[in-house]
Structure 1
Amino acid sequence: MSSFFSNISPVVTFRSLLCAGALCALTTFSAQAQRRSQPAADNMSTTPMNTATAPPAQTGLNYRNPAADDRIPMEAAKRDAVAKEMEATVVELLELYHDAKQSHWNLRGPLYYQLHEVLQGYAETYLKYTDVLAERSLQVGRPIDGRTPVVASQANLEAFPGGFLEDRQVLDLMSSRVDMVAKRVRERIERVGKIDETTSNLLQELSYALDKQAWQLRVTQQ
């Protein structure tokens, strides 16, 4: 027997022991992993997942509450008068916006660069106050009409020329139109001030902006 073991190579014996140890470790690891995963499997819900699509939202719901009309923060007798002044101002501002953009695009001459930038700023100002005053009309319970045909027929400003526009021509055109609208706004401030101070304050802010534009256009020609 001793001669038999003496003929076994030490290297073979070491490799055999190493393989046996690795197999034992692998078996132990697999058993532990199986035990760790078992509780999670036991805790999993057996209730089938609901994959049904949610029912569509109901249509035709009526949220109309007649009592909401009584919550408008202005006496009914004053609303039409305020809305009338807002409508008139909005259509004028929309017309000025189109005039400023028409000039901004088609301008030419030595003052092109300066006026090109200034007119863009004017156009943005007109849109800003158009939105403010239109929303004010809605706040007092009256709609606003800014459609193109309405603007063309009710702005009460002369037709703006098409084609290329010389810088001096634009200065004269925009000066006369801004002056006219600024004058109308000041008149509205007096009328609205007797009805609603909040709306009058909004018109005063616009009046200052228009007076500033009128001044800038005027001094450029002096």
Structure 2
Amino acid sequence: MTALADLTVAIEPGVVGLVGVNGAGKSTLIKLALGLLAPTGGKIRVLGLDPIAEGEAVRGRVGYMPEHDCLPPDVIAAEFVTHMARVSGLPAAMARERASETLRHVGLYEERYRRIGGYSTGMKQRVKLAQALVHDPELLLLDEPTNGLDPEGRRAGGPCSTWSTGSAPSSASRSWCARTCSARSSGSARRWSRSTPAGCCARRRCRR
């Protein structure tokens, strides 16, 4: 069967949640938007760009928090987030500064020199959020951001709870709003569930 068949959708600036059962095609849509999957038919545009033909440009303007844990356990958080900022095109000095600011924003500043492998699940979620935010993206995609959190952490909003603290670096203040993602495509899973506004998270990167 096919995911996202006969889908035409335009997502305007703002916060949008993709809601659906497991296998509905939420992550497939995200991978299409990032250029990690090519549509078998139709086309998709993200920020006016073709994710397949212009994937590097798209991923330089998009932040992605993946569903699964793909963090290097022997690397300290500050080094990892700095590296991801460098991969996104920031100069070395700016990358280090942004990494520190972003880790402070997600509540890991005091723990930034610890190896990621020693972090709790909730702390790893925050590292994933930090690497998605560090280059000040125009579009932020979060795939299951509360996965692995205990009930209290889920009620608190998980990593998303940091957004409402008012302590975000000014250069990151616009990172959490979807700009424009228009899609007309078909992929390869089972089916798609229409996106609807839901809470503070867009549900839907391990590489840029």
Q: Give TM-score, length-normalised by structure 1.
A: 0.25
Looking at secondary structure, tell me which structure has more strand per residue. 2
Looking at secondary structure, tell me which structure has more helix per residue. 1
Q: Give TM-score, length-normalised by structure 2.
A: 0.27
Name which structure has the greater RCO, CA cutoff 8 Å, separation 6+: 2
Structure showing greater Rg: 1
